[in-house]
Amino acid sequence: MAAPGSIDELCVNTIRTLCIDAVQAANSGHPGTPMAMAPVVYTLWQSFLRYDPDDPIWPNRDRFVLSSGHASTLLYSLLHLTGVTSVDEKYERLGTPAVALDDLRRFRQLDSKCPGHPEYHLTSGVETTTGPLGQGIATSVGMAIAADWLAQHFNRPGFDLFDYRVYALCGDGCMMEGVGSEAASLAGHLRLGNLTWIYDSNHITIEGNTVLAFSEDVAARFLGYGWQVLRVSDANDRERIADGLADARRTTDRPSLIIVESHIAYGAPHKQDTSAAHGEPLGADEVRATKRRYGWPEDAQFLVPDGVYQHFAAQFGARGRKLHAEWSALFERYRRQYPELATACEQMQRRDLPAGWDHDIPVFAADPKGLASRDSSAQVLNAIAPRLPWLIGGAADLAPSTKTRLTFAGAGDFAAEDRSGRNFHFGIREHAMGSILNGLSVSKLRAYGSGFLIFSDYMKAPIRLSALMELPVIYIFTHDSIGVGEDGPTHQPVEQLAGLRSVPGLIVLRPADANEVAEAWRLALSLKHQPACLILSRQPLPTFDRARYAAASGVTRGAYVLADAAGGRAPEVILIGTGSEVALCVGAYEQLTAEGVAARVVSMPSWELFEQQDAAYRAQVLPPAVTRRVVVEQASVLGWDRYAGATGTIIGMKTFGASAPLKDLLNKFGFTPDHVYAAAKAQLARKE
């Protein structure tokens, strides 16, 4: 425990008062947890964390995740006091403070680098966005997996390039959220000895004491998961905290949970206030009383006393700079001995792709029977992966169905016994899988995960965070429509495509045949700051004859003219489809063309990419003057009016599906070439 009047106590109280002042200035925020956990996090950063403040993206830095994101001022205060500097989106070091004192003064204000919850892409030193409770600890599992995989892939005798640890601070909310349980279960199964969670057990949530809804034995639960569980009975006892962290660091065969008992107390002894813990400033009188208790000038605001910056620099900063310099020298020796691996490591860190990564992507011959797009995707994935060594991923227990297993020699399985494998088994844990993918991605691996489209609902939070953090995660969703057939409406997605398309920054791709699948993969892997969803079928899709129809490279523009009227005639009617429904449009097109109708088929695999094109291109594909249009998609009709127009026809789903053989379902809901043809004829007969 810090001695009264010591420099350690002064630093801890500086953290506390900066947090208090930031929340008070904003008149918004959560001061309780930062105040209670300041000694814990101070001990971690000052005595254990390996981190160079001059380079917050040093690849072998330890990671600190503030899963209790509402306590954001705690992290911002540490970033300020330790002098962490900024990095831009091109991974260039700027030399400016990640968090200046003025940024803390503008906590929760517009365009501040100190938003209400930590944001990965906004504030250097924030390892992952942690707004929704549970996401931070789940993401930290992905970071820990990445550390072990990187060590196995890049380390060589005498060259331990990667041996970093991952720490996460969490609270009762993270313990209650199911995603945390999913992730903890997998972490224990994989025996991630480089992972430590610090659990702030303060027994307080927004509604009051946790006794209202949470009475389980957390320690017993984590022991059951296979974790080491340690206890610290007083969050102010820095010696016991240090002992716990040292014990966790020595334990390499399982993750560690350190349960820290804290009491959210302010100016008056033993005063507990749940509102201040969870969303309200203390108020001017309580701020003065609290500062008086700390021996702090009552009216001083954002005070950093003499010696505090220097003390952090002498320990945290000096240790990190020394370790980083040693690592950089090691890497230069490594480069001389293993030049190809060194180049790959640097490319990975910049999110660059190796030369020739796409050379083996197949070109699929025309085939009226074709392939399910999940099957063509499997071929493309296994053609790319050998040339892109840090492309790794798996499924939530569905790889045989999603066809996402890497099958080439040496791909292997990532397991507790072998960290070298590139196939991940997430178990039936879709929510945690999404969060873990984000953890892999912030660690600069190219990560993908797969499941049935209907289960994207279980992954909505991490998908949203991928987009918010601008991470190029690839989500592969198969069984994309009522084409699931007999499995019935519980497994037949209807509204999921509309939901995914509504996420800002997310690229949704629903390819129409095998060659569109190839282009979709090429596009998804070229993204550096956007996640992508590949929406794939279970049923076979005909492979179009690209000598007769347009090249699949049009996928990169989101929508393109696949088939057009002969002789350069302007189209009388436009048929628009995605995925399996494009073949229906082509079938109707052939019937119309045989009758002399000037018809056009537009394949539209991605709304988002199409909207990124200039107005001239969009008008070229969908001429505004051509209002006779038919849109076909086995999904909710929501949003399609923007392309069908006010008078066009939309053939889609307005109800849930049904359990029946595929052909019966397609007939029932109108997904046949004849029905599309009839809709086109009705459009042609319509008076303008």
| pLDDT tens-digit series, residues 479-536 | 999 999 899 999 999 999 999 999 999 999 999 999 999 999 999 999 999 999 999 9
Q: Is the pLDDT of residue 354 over 90?
A: yes
The region of weakest confidence among 201-205, 330-334, 430-434 is: 201-205
* Phi then psi dihedrals of residue 394, to 5 deg: 180, -150
Question: What is the C-alpha separation between 656 and 653, in angstroms, rounded?
Answer: 7
Please tell me the predicted confidence (pLDDT) of residue 2: 52
Supply the pLDDT for residue 90. 76
327: Cβ contacts below 8 Å, ≥ 6 apart: 58, 60, 161
Band (pLDDT 50/70/90 cuts) for residue 121 is confident
Q: 1: pLDDT confidence band, cut at 50, 70 and 90? A: very low
What number is the average pLDDT over the span 141-145?
98
467-488 pLDDT tens trace: 999 999 999 999 999 999 899 9
- Quote the CA–CA distance of 650 and 676 in Å, as a whole number: 10
Nearest-CA neighbor of 434 among 171, 141, 133? 141
Yes or no: say if 417 and 191 are a contact pair by the CB < 8 Å rule. Answer: no
Helix (H) or strand (E) holding 201: strand 195-201
Using H for helix, E for strand and C for coil, what is the string for 392-420? EEEECCCHHHHCCCCCCCCCCECECCECC
Percent of all residues in the chain with a pLDDT value above 90, rounded to a whole number? 91
Query: Which among 213, 204, 214 has a CA at the least distance from the CA of 275?
Result: 204
Catalytic site includes residue 430: yes
DSSP 8-state class, residue 419: T
Q: Which domains does the chain show, CATH number per domain?
A: 7-323 (3.40.50.970), 367-541 (3.40.50.970), 555-685 (3.40.50.920)
Give the three-class secondary structure for 460: helix
Q: At 577, list the tokens.
A: 């489809």
Is the pLDDT score of 251 beyond 60?
yes
Q: What integer is the mean pLDDT of 72-95?
A: 91
Q: Letter for the amino acid at 28?
A: S
Strands (E), 33-132: 63-66, 85-87, 93-97
Tokens 């034995």: give the residue.
217
pLDDT at 267 exceeding the cut of 80: no
Q: Are β-strands 85-87 and 93-97 bridged in parallel, bridged antiparallel, or unpaired?
A: antiparallel
In contact, 284 and 24? CB cutoff 8 Å: yes
Distance CA 329, CA 399 (A): 41
Find where tokens 């004829």 sit. 681
Contact present, 37 and 261 (Cβ < 8 Å): no
C-beta neighbour count of 406 within 10 angstroms: 23
pLDDT at site 4: 64
What is the largest distance, in Å, between two alpha-carbon atoms of the chain?
A: 93
Q: How far apart are CA 262 and CA 678, in angstroms?
A: 70
Q: Over the chain, what is the mean pLDDT?
A: 95
User: What pLDDT was estimated at residue 92?
Assistant: 80
Helix axis angle for 72-81 and 7-26, nearest 10°, is 130
Interior angle at CA 636, CA 426 and CA 608, nearest 5? 70
Backbone angles phi, psi at 342, to 5 degrees: -65, -45
CA-wise closest residue to 448 among 337, 345, 366, 532: 532
Q: Are 451 and 426 in contact (CB under 8 A)?
A: no
Q: What is the pLDDT of residues 447-461, one digit of tens each?
A: 999 999 999 999 999
First-to-final CA distance of the chain: 82
Residues 148-205: pLDDT tens digits? 999 999 999 999 999 999 999 999 999 999 999 999 999 999 999 999 999 999 887 8
Alpha-carbon distance of 405 to 412, in angstroms, equals: 10
Of 402, 373, 392, the closest CA to residue 605 belongs to 373
Residue % of the chain over a pLDDT of 70: 97
**Residue 270 pLDDT more than 80?**
no
Three-state secondary structure call for residue 209: strand
List C-alpha distances in Å: 191 to 170, 184, 325, 416, 429: 20, 10, 30, 6, 17
What does the pLDDT average to over 624-636?
97
pLDDT band at 3 (very low <50, low <70, confident <90, very high): low
Tens digits of residue pLDDT in 273-300: 433 444 578 999 999 999 999 999 999 9
Helices (H) and strands (E) in the chain, counts: 26, 22
Average pLDDT over residues 300-322: 97
Tokens (6 digits) for 575: 């048929």
**Among 430, 581, 608, 633, which one carries the catalytic annotation?**
430
Alpha carbon of residue 140 to chain centroid: 11
Q: Which helix (H) or strand (E) holds 502?
A: none
Backbone angles phi, psi at 681, to 5 degrees: -65, -40
> What pLDDT, on the 0 to 100 scale, is given for residue 269?
35
For the segment 401-415, the average pLDDT, to the nearest whole number, is: 97
Contact 554, 560 (CB under 8 A): yes
d(CA 565, CA 570): 7
Name the CA radius of gyration of the chain, rounded: 28
Residue 688 has pLDDT above 80, yes or no: no
- Bridge partners, residue 631, by sequence: 576, 650
pLDDT at 268: 35
- Please give the model's pTM, rounded to 2 decimal places: 0.96
Q: What is the rounded CA–CA span in Å between residue 676 and residue 129?
A: 45
Give residue 205's pLDDT: 80
